[in-house]
């Protein structure tokens, strides 16, 4: 080490008073953003009925035996770890809407805290807190914190994965490898798309650390449970991947801008951050405003983590153009590392303009406030049959005909559909005999359902989305009351989404469609 390097390490350079105030203000703003977003997650978690996917979570978690639980987990398309967490959770805290969503809120709040308190060589304290604040204020993440699904657990695990990977590149040892392999395996068991960042990071580790990486091979044994489960689950995943039952559309070029902005939050915020970067760069050079350089920090591992996330996201998006397999949520595993890239860029710009940290955090918060206001006032999740089930319970039906009008229902087992269709009845202590009906897209379902609903103690729930290819309701308008005048029906949703509930007793008390 040279004398200059020794002097730099021993005596950190003095900072200007303005720079200290600017980074201090950024730290305060970031801390407030993390605290406020954590509170907002709890508020969002308790204000709406469970929508379709959340009801599926409840139906799987509520299974009363381990055998029935694992059967439902296998039959589902998703990875198992989140369902296991929820099965254990509901055994302690129940199946209410708030109880099912609370883990998502807690996981969502924990991810920014993990960044804020982690030792991250290469990031200044203000940069680390900016990264944490950007993740805390990520609007899709706030929405997902009120969603009883796996995605905030995935965010937390992929955040830990990013931190562990950066540490492992800087210090390739067995302890670091065990940490990275452990959280990566759990991420894969939470969502199968986490295989992509895991594979890319693993290959990069082997290529960069070489002999040191090979000596940490025992850590790879932690992937064995994930590999075994994926091999076991592969036939079921292949069934859902069949293009004949695909419900996503191929990605189009005109959607690419919104997709690219998703890891930032919104297109407007993405453009705003680009503008902030350009202004900070121009002003910094124009004012010749440069803070004294801090001690050297090993930022390369962090930039590598960002670059691999960018590559992984590009792979997922590219596949969406080739196969009907893409939705924005599939980018979630890459979000923590992509936002790390924003924090690294902000750190670099802050050398020229110290206020950059505070402006970036304030901009992200500025977009969250109107979104949160709108979400609190409306944001209703229409694709649910919770209220319909509660109204039908007034008539105390003995039988329920349940239809999920969706192409994926054609490869589901009857007990899957019966579990999700009757979930709210069972949760309320009013179980019914559920009969599931699977529809063909080219056959009018109205006479089938009207015939199945004969009997005064029989009710119907028909859930559909006309925006999904292969839904029978795209071609056939519900007209059950025309075929059976004793049926009283109400549609609880609106637009392309419908949740039609009917019975013979008028429990839904509304005009007939």
Same domain, 400 and 359: no
pLDDT over threshold 80, residue 246? no
pTM score, whole prediction:
0.92
421, burial (CB in 10 Å: exposed 0-12, middle 13-18, buried 19+): buried
Parallel, antiparallel or unpaired: strands 399-405 and 458-465: parallel
Q: Which of 201, 340, 360, 338 is nearest to 272 (CA)?
A: 360
Both 162 and 299 in a single domain? yes
pLDDT at 76: 96
| pLDDT (average), residues 61-90 | 97
Q: Can you give the pLDDT at residue 456?
A: 85
Classify residue 511: in a domain, yes or no.
Answer: no
Give exposure, 178-192, as e/b (b: 16+ Cβ within 10 Å): bbbbbbbbbbbbbbb
CB neighbours (10 Å) of residue 338?
A: 21
pLDDT of residue 319: 92
Structure tokens given for 150: 């796996």
- Does position 511 have pLDDT exceeding 60, yes or no? no
Query: Which residues 6+ apart lie within 8 Å of 305 measured at CB?
Result: 162, 165, 166, 169, 201, 337, 340
Q: Based on the domain organization, do 279 and 426 belong to the same domain?
A: no
Q: How far is CA 353 from CA 16, 18, 283, 349, 434, in A?
A: 12, 10, 7, 6, 64
Average pLDDT along the chain: 90
Give the rounded percent of residues in the chain with a pLDDT score beyond 90: 74
Residue-level pLDDT at 55: 97
> What's the pLDDT score for residue 351?
85
The string of pLDDT tens digits covering residues 389-399 is: 999 999 999 99
Q: For 134-146, what is the mean pLDDT?
A: 96
Q: Does any domain span residue 124? A: yes
Within this chain, do residues 370 and 402 fall inside the same structural domain, yes or no? no
Average pLDDT, stretch 262-281?
93
Range of the domain at 492: 386-503
Q: Report the pLDDT value the prediction gives residue 488, as an integer from 0 to 100.
A: 93
pLDDT at 46: 74
On whether both 370 and 407 belong to a single domain, the answer is no
Residue 510 lies in a domain: no
pLDDT at 209: 94
Q: Residues 368, 413: one domain?
A: no
Examine the domain organization and report whether 87 and 207 are in the same domain.
yes
The verdict on residue 394 lying in a domain is yes
Same domain for 163 and 268, yes or no, is yes
pLDDT band at 247 (very low <50, low <70, confident <90, very high): confident
- What's the pLDDT at 467? 86
Please give the pLDDT value at position 59: 97
Mean pLDDT calculated for residue range 257-262: 94
Per-residue buried b or exposed e for 27-45, using 16+ beta carbons within 10 Å of the residue's own CB:
bebbbebbebbbebbbebb
Same domain, 344 and 263: yes
Q: What is the mean pLDDT of residues 59-87?
A: 97
Write out pLDDT tens, residues 294-349.
555 578 999 999 999 999 999 999 999 988 878 999 999 999 999 999 999 999 99
Per-residue pLDDT, 459: 95
Residue 451 has pLDDT above 60, yes or no: yes
Query: Is the pLDDT score of 9 beyond 80?
Result: no
Give yes or no for residue 463 having a pLDDT over 80.
yes
Tell me: pLDDT of 293 over 80: no
Does 41 score more than 80 pLDDT? yes
d(CA 333, CA 160): 11
Residue 8 predicted with pLDDT over 50: no
Domain count, the chain: 2
From the number of C-beta atoms within 10 Å of its C-beta (0-12, 13-18, 19+), residue 86 rates as buried
* pLDDT at residue 10, rounded to an integer: 42
Domain boundary among 350, 377, 404: 377
Residues 371 and 393 in one domain: no
Residue 385 has pLDDT above 90, yes or no: yes
């Amino acid at each position: 080490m040279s004398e200059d390097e020794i002097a730099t390490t021993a005596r950190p350079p003095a900072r200007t008073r303005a720079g200290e105030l600017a980074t201090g203000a950024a730290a305060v703003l970031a801390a407030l953003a993390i605290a406020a977003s954590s509170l907002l997650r709890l508020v969002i978690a308790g204000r709406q009925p469970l929508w379709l996917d959340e009801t599926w979570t409840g139906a799987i978690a509520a299974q009363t035996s381990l055998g029935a639980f694992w059967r439902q987990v296998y039959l589902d398309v998703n990875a198992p770890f989140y369902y296991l967490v929820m099965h254990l959770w509901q055994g302690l805290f129940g199946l209410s809407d708030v109880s099912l969503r609370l883990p998502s809120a807690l996981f969502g709040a924990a991810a920014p805290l993990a960044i804020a308190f982690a030792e991250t060589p290469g990031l200044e304290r203000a940069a680390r807190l900016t990264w944490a604040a950007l993740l805390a204020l990520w609007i899709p993440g706030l929405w997902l914190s009120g969603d009883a699904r796996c995605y905030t657990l995935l965010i937390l695990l992929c955040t830990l994965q990013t931190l562990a990977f950066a540490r492992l590149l800087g210090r390739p040892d067995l302890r670091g490898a065990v940490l990275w392999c452990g959280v990566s395996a759990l991420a894969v068991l939470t969502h199968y798309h986490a295989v992509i960042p895991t594979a890319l990071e693993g290959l990069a580790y082997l290529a960069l650390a070489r002999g040191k990486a090979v000596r940490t091979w025992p850590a790879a044994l932690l992937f064995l449970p994930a590999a075994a489960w994926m091999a076991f689950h592969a036939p079921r995943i292949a069934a859902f991947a069949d293009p004949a039952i695909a419900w996503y559309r191929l990605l189009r070029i005109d959607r690419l801008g919104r997709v690219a902005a998703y890891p930032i939050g919104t297109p407007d915020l993405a453009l705003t951050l680009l503008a902030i970067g350009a202004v900070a760069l121009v002003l910094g050079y124009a004012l010749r405003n440069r803070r004294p350089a801090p001690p050297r920090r090993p930022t390369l591992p962090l930039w590598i983590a960002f670059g691999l996330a960018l590559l992984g996201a590009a792979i997922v998006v590219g596949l969406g153009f080739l196969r009907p397999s893409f939705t924005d949520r599939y980018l979630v595993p890459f979000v923590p590392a992509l936002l790390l890239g924003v924090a690294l860029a902000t750190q670099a710009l802050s050398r020229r303009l110290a206020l950059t940290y505070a402006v970036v955090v304030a901009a992200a918060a500025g977009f969250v406030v109107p979104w949160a206001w709108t979400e609190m006032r409306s944001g209703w999740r229409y694709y649910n049959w919770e209220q319909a089930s509660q109204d039908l319970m007034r008539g105390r039906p003995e039988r329920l005909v349940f239809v999920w009008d969706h192409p994926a229902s054609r490869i589901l087992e009857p007990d899957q559909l019966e579990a999700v269709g009757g979930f709210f009845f069972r949760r309320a202590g009013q179980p019914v005999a559920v009969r599931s009906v699977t529809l063909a897209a080219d056959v009018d379902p109205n006479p089938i359902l009207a015939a199945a609903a004969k009997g005064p103690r029989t009710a119907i729930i028909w859930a559909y989305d006309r925006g999904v290819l292969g839904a029978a309701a795209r071609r056939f308008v519900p007209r059950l009351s025309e075929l059976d005048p004793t049926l009283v029906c109400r549609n609880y949703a609106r637009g392309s989404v419908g949740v039609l509930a009917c019975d013979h007793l008028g429990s839904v008390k509304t005009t007939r469609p």
